[in-house]
Amino acid sequence: MLGCGGGRRAAVTCLLELRGVDKTFFTDRGPVHAVRQMSMTIEAGEVVGLVGESGSGKSTVANLVLGLEQPDAGRIRFRGRDIGDWLAAESGAYRQAVQAVFQHPFQALDRRKRVGWLVAEPLVIHRRGSSRQRAERVEELMADVNLDPSLVDRYPHQLSGGQAQRVNIARALALEPSLLVCDEPVSALDVSVQAQILNLLLEIGRKRAMAMLFISHSLPVVRHLSDRTVVMYAGIAVEQGPGGEVSDRPAHPYTQLLISAASMTGDDPGTGRRAMQEAVPPQGCRFAPRCPMVIDRCAAEEPGLEELYEGRSSRCWRSHEFLDI
């Protein structure tokens, strides 16, 4: 198990830790197990990519970390303290420390407010500075995200998608958070703009030594950004490891599938979602029905998250084989 420091490195500062987190939604079509037995950590200043196809539960992880949803089981700790405690006792401090950039840049902005107002909003909420100091800070923030300062008087609908997402990023940075949760921040944008926004996030994260939970359905994007990658399938973390290694030498067949173009177009993307809806989990591996590498053992026994070597773990019986270790 990859704990925070896990006893091996006792003094490691762990910013965020999820341990055995479960979240089930009850819908008209029965329960959906969006997140199951999720465990992961983010250390200060670290960029962790969370990747999986749509419906794999990755956005639910973001919502749990942001306190927009409460876990059914397990613990989510920020700086060693449960998020529920943070929000009950010092919600202001938690909100300042953990900020978010969402998928839909326009919908995340109140369309009746001007850009300047929107960027200043977090400063007003947390009573930072006088109105004059706030105006200066807004200018700084807009410069930080490469937004033309003349846009302060615009309404969101007068912006391009990329500009709107920059406004969202400026808002999120205003409070100098130590963790930024980016939930598919570029998937709603034009391909031409995606790279700019990704590089902006990368640059900002490095400059401010800010930790990031970067959620995406695209492994190449995550690879580009993250120090560490977590791959999710049907609410379960199936593989974790250093960013480059996970995509270069995948230890789990699902990761291999994500890498191959076939997974994006050919395969049935609904399988993951169906797997979430199974009321009684099947005995074996959840990925077995889709797995091209399936063996008899997969149907009989569910693999646990096994540490392959330091910093690398996977939920597959054949990982050692794939990695040749």
Rank residues 101 and 147 by Cβ distance to another protein and give the closer one.
101
Task: Report, in Å, the least distance between residue 168 CB and another protein.
Answer: 7
Rank residues 102 and 233 by Cβ distance to another protein and give the closer one.
102
Tokens of 36: 């199951």
Q: State the CB neighbour count (10 A cutoff) for residue 183.
A: 23
Task: Report, in Å, the least distance between residue 309 CB and another protein.
Answer: 36
Tokens of 129: 């500075």
Rank residues 170 and 225 by Cβ distance to another protein and give the closer one.
170
Helices and strands (DSSP H and E) totals, the chain: 13, 12
Rank residues 50 and 120 by Cβ distance to another protein and give the closer one.
120
Nearest to 47 by CA among 209, 276, 156: 209
- Grouping H, G, I as helix, E, B as strand and the rest as coil, residue 174 is coil
Taking the C-alpha atoms of residue 30 and residue 49, their distance in angstroms, rounded to an integer, is 30
Phi, psi of 61 (to 5 degrees): -60, -45
Taking the C-alpha atoms of residue 221 and residue 267, their distance in angstroms, rounded to an integer, is 21
Task: Report, in Å, the least distance between residue 141 CB and another protein.
Answer: 13
Rank residues 117 and 278 by Cβ distance to another protein and give the closer one.
117
Taking the C-alpha atoms of residue 66 and residue 54, their distance in angstroms, rounded to an integer, is 19
Task: Report, in Å, the least distance between residue 152 CB and another protein.
Answer: 17
Residues near another protein, by CB under 8 A: 66, 68, 91-92, 95-96, 98-100, 102, 104, 107-113, 121-122, 125-126, 168, 171, 175
Task: Report, in Å, the least distance between residue 301 CB and another protein.
Answer: 40
